Amino acid sequence: MEIILALGIGTLAGSGVWLILRPRTFQVIIGLSLLSYAINLFILAMGRLRIGAPPVLATRGVGDPLLYADPLPQALVLTAIVISFATTALFLVVLLASRGLTGTDHVDGRERDS
């Protein structure tokens, strides 16, 4: 399992990095989304992989940490998902505004002199 998830995270991250280095704003926004998937999974993986042990207490009382997946990375990732949604929305609007103002969708706001 670990190797599959690691390779998956790597593929997402590599694709994301490739895209954020591209000159078009839409490529960058897709790249950032891919990167955020990779990073969210990475953070989750830092709590180690557990299958069939969601961090929901089965009994009302003091929980045993060994029985449940690590809840802390999950709480962090939950926050990260919402924030990355917000930044994607913001970036989308900046992208559109910049496209209208500069007449180009190049990340620098102007085409490279060729």
Partner 1 sequence: MPQEMLLIAIVMLPFVGSCLAALLQSNARNAETWLAGATALTCLVLVSTAFPAIAAGGIIRNKIEWLPEFGLDFTLRVDGFAWMFAVLITGIGFLVVLYARYYMSPTDPVPRFFSFLLAFMGAMLGIVLSGNLIQLVFFWELTSLFSFLLIGYWHQNAPARDGARMALTVTSAGGLCLFAGVLLVGHIVGTYDLDRVLASGHLIRSHHLYIPTLLLVLLGALTKSAQFPFHFWLPHAMAAPTPVSAYLHSATMVKAGVFLLIRLWPALGGTDEWLWLVGSAGLITFILGAYIAIFQQDLKGLLAYSTISHLGLITLLIGLDAPLGIVAAIFHILNHATFKASLFMAAGIIDHESGTRDIRRLSGLWRFMPVTATLAMVAAAAMAGVPLLNGFLSKEMFFAETIETHNGSLLDDALPYIVTLASTCTVAYSLRFIRDVFFGPPPTGLPRTPHEPPRWMRFPVELLVLACLVVGIIPSMTVGPALDAAVRAVLGGDTPEYSLAIWHGFTPELLMSILAMSGGVALYFALHGYLLSGVEGPPLLRRLNGQRIFERILVFLSWRLARRLENLLGTRRLQPQLRLLVGMALLAGAAPFYAGGFSTGRPVSDIDPGFALVWAVGAACAIGAAHLAKFHRLAALVLLGGAGLVACISFVWLSAPDLALTQLVVETVTTVLLLLGLRWLPKRIPEAGAMGWWTQMLQWHRARDLTLALCAGAAVAALAYAAMTEPVPDRISRFFVENAYTQGGGTNIVNVILVDFRGFDTLGEITVLGVVALTVYALLRRFRPAAESVPLPEQQRIQNAYDDEHPERATGDTIADAMTIPALIMRLMFPVIGVVALFFFLRGHDLPGGGFVAGLTMAVAFILQYMAGGTHWFEARLRILPLRWMGFGLLVAAGTGAAAWLFGRPFLTSYFAYANVPLIGPVPLASVLLFDLGVFSLVVGATVLMLIAIAHQSVRSHRAAPQTRGPRPQPAPRRMEVE
Q: How far is the CB of 32 from partner 1 (least distance, A)?
A: 10
Q: How far is the CB of 94 from partner 1 (least distance, A)?
A: 7
Sites for partner 1 among residues 95-114 (CB under 8 A): 95-97, 99-101, 103, 105, 107-108, 114
**Angle ∠(89,103,20) on CA atoms, nearest 5:** 45
CA separation for the pair 20, 39 (Å, rounded): 15
Sites for partner 1 among residues 64-93 (CB under 8 A): 64-65, 68-72, 74-75, 77-79, 81-83, 85-90, 92-93
Contacts of 69 (CB under 8 A, 6+ apart): 47, 50, 53, 54, 55
